[in-house]
DNA sequence: AAGTGGTCTAGACCACATT
DNA sequence: ATGTGGTCTAGACCACTTT
């Protein structure tokens, strides 16, 4: 077997796993734009100097992970890793209407660089007392408040967001993380509990104090497992709905 | 290739898919007890008259689905399809303590054969007005009420449960479905919402009327996609906690 | 030493999509 | 007609486990 055309990590791993890792790296580096076809199996296998079936195993793994999509007779295509982890999936109003995804309006209420609270430091895996970027956000739906969020971001990764005009944040944060700071959220972990609104939260959500609210605690990770965002979100409990399937 | 040793379904499917289906059928039929090793790759491949690699694809699929577990150097073992869909996964008190799973005590409060309510008929995919078996159940944890459940089962599948002594139901229903009625729950779909306790529910849960409660609506399916159970469960909202991961 | 699953190769043929 | 991915085969060698 001729020497591989590219350096591959950890030679103890099976060849197909190393191929998968290297292809994932090249995909993450943007070597092939989304929705375009990768080189064919035979071409890539020849470039790496491996058997076609070995490269196929790597492709199959990437397809299972959702990074690429295989289409018989056409090619293997890059998939944009559409995260199905929107905070809105927990609330009825945020669902499709007539097929299109509806995104509520967002407003940044406050922004500050400040010491991380204990829960955020813990979520980010940082020492308490280190500084982070705090965003307070209100999301509305058809004019009425839907979600209040307190978001803490790792610094200095997100330093550019500390300077950007709060009006120019747009409705969605994760695309902004990617375009402004080069950080792509690949996985989120959410923990849902039910509580009651105190006076301040009730005022923001336009409900009576003491009404039940759903709290979602979140930590968001990049593909290499680094926690970049810790978040707490509160929404009206009567708007909450979540569907779970277990096997 | 010699004729397969066993009849395989739908010849249009790829061979490895037909092998997977046939092996899944034999597993479901209990041909090999759980925790025992299946015949080796080479033996099974020879019995089916296919190449080892083709049989491997079927095994890999079954392993991904959790029906079998492959152990290098030892064999391929039957896994009991441990459903990770307990209603208790939504409530904190139901978690492990010192490593062991703790199951709350259960009591059947009422049982009746009666016309299905609309929501249960819809969940079971049956015409409203057909009769089902209703179970009302209370689950307690450390002496205090945790969950109230209204369960509707398809008839005549579960007719034997209409005669069994309510004291002899035990703490878990799904194993009973299997042992008494031959129905194995393979998948559940849950929908979680938040409401408030009316007087009757509050009394059963030992909380004040108007306190927030979490309602879980469930439909349970067998491996072949037949809905056999529709359920509504109510628990104290302050005991609710659910962790979700999205990618 | 023998048996198991895991990896890798090489090649034939098929199904699908585009030119 | 050509190129793509999908299936299937046959066999070599490796790593792990048990005897």
| pLDDT given at position A1 | 38
Q: A247: distance to nearest CA of chain B, Å? A: 4
What sign does the CA torsion over B170, B174, B176, B179 have? negative
Put simply, whether B194 touches A (Cβ < 8 Å) is yes
Angle at B171 between CA B169 and CA B173, to 5 degrees: 65
| pLDDT given at position A3 | 38
Tell me: pLDDT of B101 over 90.
Answer: no
> What letter would DSSP give residue B161?
G
Query: A238: how many CB neighbours lie within 10 A of its CB?
Result: 17
Put simply, whether B72 touches A (Cβ < 8 Å) is no
| pLDDT given at position A76 | 95
For residue B187, list its beta bridge partners: B221
Preferred mutation among B82, B89, B193, B244 to probe A, highest tally of A CBs within 10 A: B244
Q: What is the pTM of this model?
A: 0.83
Say whether B196 and A212 touch across the interface (CB within 8 A).
Answer: yes
pLDDT in tens, B111-138: 999 999 999 999 999 998 999 999 999 9
Tell me: pLDDT of B96 over 60.
Answer: no
Between CA B48 and C1' C18 the distance (Å) reads: 38
pLDDT in tens, B140-192: 988 889 999 999 999 999 999 999 999 999 999 999 999 899 998 988 999 99
Chain B residue numbers with beta carbons less than 8 Å from the beta carbon of A187 are: 245-247
Put simply, whether B4 touches A (Cβ < 8 Å) is no
Q: A218: distance to nearest CA of chain B, Å? A: 10
Name the closest residue (CA) to the C1' of nucleotide C3. Answer: B73
Chain A residue numbers with beta carbons less than 8 Å from the beta carbon of B24 are: none
d(CA B101, CA B93): 11
Chain B residue numbers with beta carbons less than 8 Å from the beta carbon of A66 are: 247
Put simply, whether B43 touches A (Cβ < 8 Å) is no
Between CA A70 and C1' C16 the distance (Å) reads: 12
pLDDT band of residue B80 (cuts 50, 70, 90) is: confident
DSSP conformation letters of A94-137: GS-BTTB----EEEEEEEEEEEPPHHHHHHHT--TT-EEEEEEE
Whether A16 sits with its Cβ under 7 A from any strand C atom: the answer reads yes
Put simply, whether B188 touches A (Cβ < 8 Å) is yes
Mean of all residue pLDDT scores within chain B: 89
Put simply, whether B214 touches A (Cβ < 8 Å) is yes
Q: B62: distance to nearest CA of chain A, Å? A: 14
Between CA B51 and C1' C11 the distance (Å) reads: 15
| pLDDT given at position B142 | 81
> What letter would DSSP give residue B49?
T
What is the average pLDDT across A73-77?
A: 94
Put simply, whether A52 touches B (Cβ < 8 Å) is no
Chain A residue numbers with beta carbons less than 8 Å from the beta carbon of B196 are: 212
Between CA B11 and C1' C16 the distance (Å) reads: 19
| pLDDT given at position B3 | 39
- Is residue A197 within 8 Å of residue A206, measured between CB atoms? no
Chain B residue numbers with beta carbons less than 8 Å from the beta carbon of A244 are: 189-192, 242, 244
What is the average pLDDT across B235-246?
A: 94
| Percentage above 70 pLDDT, chain B | 90
User: What is the b/e burial string over B62-99, where b = at least 16 CB atoms within 10 angstroms of the residue's CB?
Assistant: beeeebbeeeeeeebbbbebeeebbbbebbebbeeeee
Q: Which of A76, A43, A41, A83 is nearest to A62 (CA)?
A: A76
């Amino acid at each position: 077997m001729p020497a591989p055309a590219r350096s591959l990590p950890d030679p103890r791993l099976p060849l197909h796993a190393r191929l998968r890792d290297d292809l994932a790296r090249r995909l993450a580096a943007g070597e092939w734009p989304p929705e375009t076809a990768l080189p064919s199996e035979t071409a890539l296998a020849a470039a790496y100097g491996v058997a076609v079936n070995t490269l196929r195993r790597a492709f199959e793994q990437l397809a299972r992970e959702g990074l690429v999509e295989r289409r018989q007779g056409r090619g293997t295509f890059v998939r944009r890793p559409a995260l199905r982890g929107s905070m809105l999936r927990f609330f009825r109003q945020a669902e499709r209407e007539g097929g299109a995804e509806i995104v509520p309006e967002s407003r940044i209420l406050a922004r500050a660089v400040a010491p991380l609270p204990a829960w955020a430091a813990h979520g980010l895996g940082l020492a308490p007392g280190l500084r982070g970027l705090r965003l307070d956000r209100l999301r509305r739906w058809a004019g009425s408040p839907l979600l209040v969020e307190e978001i803490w971001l790792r610094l200095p990764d997100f330093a550019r967001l500390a300077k950007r005009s709060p009006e120019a944040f747009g409705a969605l944060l994760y695309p902004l993380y990617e375009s402004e700071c080069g950080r792509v959220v690949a996985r989120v972990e959410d923990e849902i509990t039910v509580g009651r609104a105190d006076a301040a939260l009730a005022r923001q959500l336009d409900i009576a104090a003491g009404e039940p609210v759903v709290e979602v605690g979140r930590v968001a990770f990049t593909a290499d497992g680094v926690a970049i965002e810790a978040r707490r979100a509160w929404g009206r409990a009567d708007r909450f709905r979540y569907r779970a399937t277990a096997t």
